[in-house]
Amino acid sequence: MSLLRSFPTLLFALVLLAILGLCIAQQSLGMLLTAGTLAALSWVITEGPRGRMLPRWLSNALVMGALVFVIADLNQNRHDLLSVLGRFAILLTLIKLYERRSVRDHAHLLTLSLLLMVTGCLQSSNLLFGVVLLLYAALGLHVLLLYQLYASFERSRQVQSPGGVAIDRLPASVKPVLGRHAGAHFRILTVALALSGVALSLLAFVLFPREVGADMFGTLRSPLSSRTTGFAWEIDLARGGRINQSRVKIATVELLDVRGSPLSDQGPLLLRGDVLDQYQGHGVWTTAPGPLKHIGVSAAGFSPLMPLVDDAIAITQRVDLNRSSIGRTPLFSIHTPVAVSADRDLSVTYDPAKQTLATADQSKGLRGYSIKVIAEPPEGVLSALNDQLLTRERRGRWYMDGDGSVAELAKRLLADGGVPTTRPSLAEARFRWNRSAAAVFTAFLHSPSFTYTTDLSAVVQYGNSRDPISRFLIETRQGHCEFFASGLVALCHSVGIPARVVVGYIAYDFDDAARRYNVHESSAHAWAEVRTARLRWEEIDPTPPASLDQFHSAQGGLGDDLRTAYEQLEGNWSRNVVEFDAVAQNHLGQSINDNWSQRISSVITLVLERMERVNMFFNVGPGGYIWMGIVASALVIAVIALITLRRRTRAIRRTLRLNHLRGAEHQRMLKHLGFYLDMIEALRRAGIPKPPWQPPLQFAASLEHRRGDTADVVREITTLFYQARYGGKSLERSDRERAATLVQELSARLR
Amino acid sequence: MLRRFEPHVPGLVYAALLTLVAMTAMNNQNNLLFWVFGAMLAALLISAVISTHMMRALHIRRVDPQHGRVDEPMVVRYAITNQSRILPAFNIKISERSGPARGGGDLGWRRSMAPAEAWVMHVAPRETLHGEIIFQPRRRGRVAFHAVQASTTFPFGLIRKSRAVAQSQHTLIYPQLLTLRRGILASASLVGHMGSKVSAHAGVGDDYFGTREYRSGDSLRHIAWKKSARVDDLISIDRARPSPTKLRIVLDLTTPTHKLQTDCVDDARELEERAISLAASLLHAAHGEDYEIGLSVLGVAITPIALRRNVWHLNKIMAALASIDLDGAREPIASAPVRQAERAGVIVVTSDRITPLAGHEQAIYFSARHLTSLLAEPKVLDRGHALDVHAPPVARGKRP
C-alpha cells in the first residue's frame, strides 16, 4: 500500500520538475519563483490537515481568466508563440493543482507536465534543461506506472462501494490484493523498463532520418533558443537568445618559422575561416558564390596555391584537430595561404579572391593540416589574383541602409573625427581615406557607449522591423563580435568603402610549454576586413579589446575550473545531442558500418582459412567443404535435439513427480509416460489446466462437466497412464501408438 | 482460450500525441523532440511486449461460487496464478464474459446481475492469489457463468491485453428476503393448531412423559409422591420435550401469469416474484424462531419438502424457491397439498386473489398484493408500480 500512498507526492514532484524545466527553458527566474511558490502552496492548502480545494465554478472562471490573459499576451508577443503557450500551460497547471484531485485530474496533471516539457524542448537545448529533462523522464516513468495502479485501485474502490459513494468518502478498509515483495518487483520492473526505454529511444534518436520534413508546417522555432559558441558558415543577427560559451578545445595551432622552429607567443591570432561578403538583409550575412579551385592535397608534401611565392618568406601554420572533421570544414589560416598539406589525401577548395580554404563536402576524418602563410603577399602574387578580386567585388552585395540613419551616423562620425565626408577620386587618396574612415569607425565602436554581451534575450525585439545592424548602431549598442563586425562593415558600406565580414577563430590561449595555441569553441570570432590598397584587405577587429580579454582569458582558480568543466559538459551535450544532424548521422552510420564490416569480414576470413586447413589435412578435395557443411549442420541439429530432449525430460519428471525414482524404473517411466505430459499440455493450452493437487482420475472425471466431448479420450489416456505408472505394466509399441493417436484426437477436439 | 488486444481510448490519445510530437520534431529538426519521440515509441513497444508476456503467463480459475440472494452482495472468488519465473503481473482486472442465455430457467448471468470486476494489483512470479468480484443479483433464479476474462493495461495504459478462459459453472440466486412485521408469525399461530404433536423425547416441557428414579438435583416439585410412597423409594416425573412449532408454507402459483389481474405482464410477473419473496421471508423468519418448516409449491413441478429444522433444510427450501420457473406450464392442484396428519400450521401465499384451498379454509392466506403492509418498514418495492396496495392481510380464508 505504501506504493500507492506515494503516488500523489511523486506526481506533485513531477509537476514541480516540469515547471522548473519550462522556466529554465524560458530563462525566466521571475516565473520560476512565482509559479514555484504557488505550486508549493497548493500542496499545503489542499493536502494539509484542513484540505481546501477550489470549487469547480471558481476553477472554471480562473481558466477563462487565463485564456483572456493568453490572448492579450499573444497580441504583444506574436512572434514568440512558444513562450505564450508555455505560460498558458503553467497557468492551467497551477489552477489544476488547487482543484479536487480525482483520478481524471491526476491524468490531466500528467498530461500538462508533459506539455510543459515538450514546450521547453522546443525552446531550449542547454545542458541544464537537458539534465532536468532526463530527471523528468526517469521520474515520469515511475509516476506513469504508479498511476496505472492508483487509478485502477480507486476505480475498484468505487465499484465495490454500495450506491456509488464518492471516492473521497470511501472507507479505507478496501485494500488491494497484492503478492509478495510487490514494492521490490515494482522498482525492479521500473528500472528494467527505464533501461530498455533508454536503449530503444537512443536507437530511435540515432536512426530517425534528419532533414526530412523540415519546416513543412512553417518555422516554429523559438527566437529564445540558445546557441553554443562555434564556427558557422553564415551570420544571422536576428537570432537572439543567449550564446553559451563552450571551452571545449577543438584544435591546437603551432607556428613554425622558415627553419621549422616553433615561434613564441605572437599575441592573439586571427584564424580566417570564411569571408561573408553578401548581405541578405535583416542581419543575415552569407558568402557570395564564385569560382573555386579544386586542389588535391596529400600527406606527401605541400600543394602550392600560388606558384610565384618564394618558400623562404613563408611561415608554417600547423593545425591539429581534437576531433576528426565531418563534411565540409574550413581550413583556418592566418594571413594569406600559399601552400597546403594534410595528414591524409583529400580534396580542398580554394577561393583565390577571399584567400580561404575548405575541405570538399565528402571529406571526412581529417585530423590535421599544415598551411604555409605569408603576411604580405608580393605584388606579383596579388596581381595574378587581380581579376578575381575585382570580379568578386562586383558580385558581393553591400549593406543597404533603408532609412539612411547609418549613412548619417557615418558622416557625422567622419565629421567629428576630422575626416572628409566625401570620397576622394584619386585611388591612392581614396585608399588612405578608407583607412582613416575605418579607424574613426573602429574608435567609435570601441567607445564606452558600446557594451559587449553574449546574452541578447533582453535586447533583441522580435517583430521590430528595423534592421538589426541599424538598431545596434543607433539604439541598443549592445551585442557580440558579430554585431561589431557587421556594424563596422555597414558604416564602411554606407560611405562607399569596400569592406567584408570575416568569421573564424581568435586564438588567445598560448601554451608556453608546448609552444602552441589552444583553440576553444568559445574562441569563435567575427571581425572585418577593409580594402586599404588596390589589392589589399586590412584586418580590423572592432570588438572592444578589453571585452575580448575578459571573455577569452582564463581567470584561474576553482571557479574557473568548475566553469570550464561545466562548459565542457555543455559542449559535449550540445555537440552530441542538440546538434546531431544528418551529417553526423551519416558519419556514425558509416563508422559503425565500417567497424562491423571489418569484424564480420575478418571472422569470415578466419573461418574460411580454418576450413581450408581442415580440407587440406584430410585431402578430400572440393567435396570436403560440402562434408564440413553437413557435419556442422548435423552438430547444430544434434545440439538442438539434445536441448529439447533435456527440457522434455525435466518437464516429465516435474509434472509426473518422478524425482524419487532411480535407475531402470526412472528410465522406463521417462520413456513411456511422455504421452500423459502431452495430454496435460494440450488441455492447458485449451484453458483446462490440471491442478497439481488433483489426482489424474479425479481430473478426468471433472472433465465430464466441463468438456464432455473430450472426457472419454482423457479417461482412456489416464487409464493407460495408471497402468504404466502404478500398475507396473510395460507399455508395448501398440499401446504407445494408441496413446499418441488419442493425444492427437484430443488436440483436434480441443481446437 | 481467447487472447486479444483491445482498443483503448488513452492509447488512441497517446498515438495522436506521438504523431504530433513526431511531426513537430521533423518540422523543427529539434533533437530533443526526436529523443522524446523515441522514448514515447519505446513506451508503446514495451507496453505491447510486457502486457503480452504478462497475460501469457497468467492462469485464472473461478472457485466454485456460493449461492447468492437477490439484493445482497454475492462474492465470487478467482484464483490467479502467475506461471512466469521472472516477470510479475500487475494491474490485473478479472471479469466474467457473458455467454448465451439458454432456455429452461438457465439465465445468462447478465440477466440476473450487473457486470462487476475484481482487481488484483500484483501477482509475484510463481504465486497464486485470490481476487473477488462482488455481484449484486437483481433477479432470482439459476445463473450460468461461461468464461472468465483477465485483462491488463500495464505498464503504460496504452494497450489493453485480455485473455479469456472457458469455465462453465452454475449457481442459484435465492429469492429476496424481506423484513416482516413483528408478530406476523405469532398472530398466525393463534389461528389453528401449529405443532401440537407430543414429542417422543424427554425434556423440560409441561406434558407428562414418564417416571424414573430420583436423581440428585431433581426438583421436589417433580417427585411423584404417591408412587414414591407405594414403592418406598423416591420417584421423579419426567416431562416431555416441547415440540417445536411446525409451519408449512404453501405457495400457490396455479394461476398462470397472463391470467393475473394486472395492467401488464411485467406487473403480473412482479406479483409472482413478490409472492415467492414473501414465502421465502416467512420461511426464513420461521426458521429464525426455531420452527420446523416445510414448503409446498402448487402449480409447479416441485416435490413438497418435509418439515425439518436445520440450516441445510432451509437452504434446500431456498434452492427450491430459486429454481421455480415461472415461464413453464402451470399444473392444476392434483392432490391435497398438505397431509392432515402433519399437524402443522399452514400459511398460503398467493400472487393475486386469494382462493381458499379445499380442506384448508382455516389456514392463513397472504397475497402478494398486500406485501407492503406485511413489512416492518413499508417501502416502494419497485419503481412506480401500482401494485403496492396498503390493505390488511386477510385471514381465515376470507376473500378481500
Q: How confident is the model at residue A15 (pLDDT cuts 50, 70, 90)?
A: very high
CA A509 from centroid of its chain's CA atoms: 29
The confidence score (pLDDT) of residue B123 equals 93
Task: Assess if residue B354 is contained within a domain.
Answer: yes
d(CA A350, CA B70): 95
Q: Which helix (H) or strand (E) holds A606?
A: helix A582-618
* Nearest by Cα to B272 from B286, B252, B247: B252
B45 has a chain A CB within 8 A of its CB? yes
Which stretch of A238-242, A540-544, B103-107, B212-216 has the lowest confidence by average pLDDT?
A: B103-107
CATH code, B294: 3.40.50
Cβ distance of A178 and B120 shorter than 8 Å:
yes
B27 contacts on A by Cβ (under 8 Å): 213-218, 220
Q: Are residues B157 and B277 in the same domain?
A: no
Range of the structural domain that residue B359 is part of: 245-396
Cβ distance of B88 and A179 shorter than 8 Å:
yes
Of all residues in chain A, the one with the smallest CA distance to B38 is A201
A200 contacts on B by Cβ (under 8 Å): 38, 41-42, 45-46
B79 contacts on A by Cβ (under 8 Å): none
Mutate to test the interface with B, among A3, A111, A121, A681 (most CBs of B within 10 A): A121
Domains held by chain B: number:
3
Question: B307 with B344: CB under 8 angstroms?
Answer: yes
Cα pseudo-dihedral A416, A417, A420, A421, rounded to 10: -50
* B 302-321 residues inside an 8 A Cβ radius of A: none
A121 contacts on B by Cβ (under 8 Å): 30, 32-33, 36
The confidence score (pLDDT) of residue B104 equals 42
**pTM surpassing 0.80?**
no
d(CA A380, CA A374): 14
Cβ distance of A200 and B36 shorter than 8 Å:
no
B95, pLDDT greater than 80? yes
Label each residue of B11-22 as H, E or C.
HHHHHHHHHHHH
B260 has a chain A CB within 8 A of its CB? no
A50, amino acid identity: R
Task: For residue B186, give how far its alpha carbon lies from the nearest alpha carbon of chain A (Å).
Answer: 35
Q: Are residues B134 and B272 in the same domain?
A: no
Mapped onto helix, strand or coil, the DSSP state of residue A211 is coil
Which stretch of B101-105, B232-236, B293-297 has the lowest confidence by average pLDDT?
A: B101-105
Q: Are residues B135 and B263 in the same domain?
A: no
- Whose cell is 571529406? That residue is A363
Task: Assess if residue B181 is contained within a domain.
Answer: no
The confidence score (pLDDT) of residue A557 equals 66
Cβ distance of B124 and A180 shorter than 8 Å:
yes
Mean pLDDT of all residues in A26-52:
86
The confidence score (pLDDT) of residue B308 equals 87
Which stretch of A290-304, A501-515, B330-344 has the lowest confidence by average pLDDT?
A: B330-344
Task: Assess if residue B182 is contained within a domain.
Answer: no
pLDDT in tens, A404-425: 889 999 999 999 989 888 888 8
Cβ distance of A578 and B31 shorter than 8 Å:
yes
Q: How confident is the model at residue B385 (pLDDT cuts 50, 70, 90)?
A: very low
Task: Assess if residue B187 is contained within a domain.
Answer: no
Task: Assess if residue B179 is contained within a domain.
Answer: no
Of all residues in chain A, the one with the smallest CA distance to B157 is A148
Q: Are residues B18 and B131 in the same domain?
A: yes
Of all residues in chain B, the one with the smallest CA distance to A156 is B119
Q: How confident is the model at residue B327 (pLDDT cuts 50, 70, 90)?
A: confident
Tell me which residue in A107, A122, A182 faces B28 most closely, judged by beta carbons.
Answer: A122
Tell me which residue in B10, B28, B122 faces A178 most closely, judged by beta carbons.
Answer: B122
B391, pLDDT greater than 60? no
- Whose cell is 514494492? That residue is A183
How many CA within 13 A on the CB side of residue B198?
9
B148 has a chain A CB within 8 A of its CB? no
Q: Are residues B147 and B238 in the same domain?
A: no
Cell of A587: 558519419
Question: B95 with A155: CB under 8 angstroms?
Answer: no
B114 has a chain A CB within 8 A of its CB? no
Q: Are residues B269 and B214 in the same domain?
A: no
B97, pLDDT greater than 80? yes
B165 contacts on A by Cβ (under 8 Å): 687
Of all residues in chain A, the one with the smallest CA distance to B164 is A687
Cβ distance of A204 and B42 shorter than 8 Å:
yes
Label each residue of A672-705 as H, E or C.
HCHHHHHHHHHHHHCCCCCCCCCCHHHHHHHHHH
Q: Are residues B221 and B339 in the same domain?
A: no
Of all residues in chain B, the one with the smallest CA distance to A118 is B33
d(CA A376, CA A536): 9
3-state helix, strand, coil in chain B (%, to 5): 30, 30, 40
A185 contacts on B by Cβ (under 8 Å): 88, 122, 124
Question: A661 with A669: CB under 8 angstroms?
Answer: yes
Percentage of chain B beyond pLDDT 90 is: 18
Tell me which residue in A178, A203, A580 faces B31 most closely, judged by beta carbons.
Answer: A580
Of all residues in chain B, the one with the smallest CA distance to A219 is B28
B386, pLDDT greater than 50? no
Tell me which residue in B26, B41, B61 faces A214 most closely, judged by beta carbons.
Answer: B26
* B 166-225 residues inside an 8 A Cβ radius of A: 166-168
Task: Assess if residue B180 is contained within a domain.
Answer: no
Cell of B382: 419497485
A676, pLDDT greater than 80? yes
Q: How confident is the model at residue A335 (pLDDT cuts 50, 70, 90)?
A: confident
Cell of B191: 389461528
Q: Are residues B219 and B292 in the same domain?
A: no
Tell me which residue in A200, A578, A581 faces B45 most closely, judged by beta carbons.
Answer: A200
* B 327-356 residues inside an 8 A Cβ radius of A: none
Which stretch of A228-232, A460-464, B167-171 has the lowest confidence by average pLDDT?
A: A460-464
DSSP secondary structure, B91-130, as one string: EEEEEEEP-PPPSTTEEEHHHHB---EEEEEEE-TT-EEE
Q: Are residues B224 and B328 in the same domain?
A: no
Of all residues in chain B, the one with the smallest CA distance to A108 is B10
Cβ distance of B91 and A148 shorter than 8 Å:
yes
Cβ distance of A212 and B46 shorter than 8 Å:
no
Task: Assess if residue B213 is contained within a domain.
Answer: yes
pLDDT in tens, B21-35: 888 888 877 777 888
B155 contacts on A by Cβ (under 8 Å): 144-145, 148, 189, 193
Q: Are residues B134 and B275 in the same domain?
A: no
B119 contacts on A by Cβ (under 8 Å): 152-153, 155-156, 176-177
Task: For residue A199, give how far its alpha carbon lies from the nearest alpha carbon of chain B (Å).
Answer: 9
CATH code, B140: 2.60.40.10
Q: How confident is the model at residue A571 (pLDDT cuts 50, 70, 90)?
A: low
Question: B276 with B324: CB under 8 angstroms?
Answer: yes
B393, pLDDT greater than 50? no
* Nearest by Cα to B240 from B200, B194, B196, B193: B200
Burial class (CB in 10 A: 0-12, 13-18, 19+), A345: exposed
Question: A341 with A298: CB under 8 angstroms?
Answer: yes
Which stretch of A302-316, A688-702, B322-336 has the lowest confidence by average pLDDT?
A: A302-316
Of all residues in chain A, the one with the smallest CA distance to B165 is A687
The confidence score (pLDDT) of residue A732 equals 84
Tell me which residue in A148, A205, A688 faces B155 most closely, judged by beta carbons.
Answer: A148
Cell of A679: 495430454
Percentage of chain A beyond pLDDT 90 is: 19
A640, pLDDT greater than 90? yes
* Nearest by Cα to A126 from A278, A3, A229, A273: A229
Interchain CB contacts (distance < 8 Å): A and B: 170
Of all residues in chain B, the one with the smallest CA distance to A225 is B30
Q: Which helix (H) or strand (E) holds B145?
A: strand B141-152
The confidence score (pLDDT) of residue A411 equals 92
Of all residues in chain B, the one with the smallest CA distance to A161 is B134
Mutate to test the interface with B, among A114, A129, A156 (most CBs of B within 10 A): A156
Of all residues in chain B, the one with the smallest CA distance to A177 is B120
Q: Are residues B388 and B252 in the same domain?
A: yes
Better-scored residue on pLDDT, A659 or B340: A659
Tell me which residue in A121, A160, A218 faces B36 most closely, judged by beta carbons.
Answer: A121
B63 contacts on A by Cβ (under 8 Å): none
Q: Are residues B361 and B328 in the same domain?
A: yes
Task: Assess if residue B186 is contained within a domain.
Answer: no
Mean pLDDT of all residues in A318-333:
78
d(CA A192, CA A187): 9
pLDDT in tens, B1-52: 555 666 667 778 888 888 888 888 888 777 778 888 888 888 888 888 888 8
pLDDT in tens, B202-214: 666 677 788 888 8
Better-scored residue on pLDDT, A131 or A684: A131
Q: How confident is the model at residue A228 (pLDDT cuts 50, 70, 90)?
A: low
Mutate to test the interface with B, among A141, A150, A180, A225 (most CBs of B within 10 A): A180
The confidence score (pLDDT) of residue B7 equals 64
Which stretch of A246-250, A372-376, A499-503 has the lowest confidence by average pLDDT?
A: A246-250
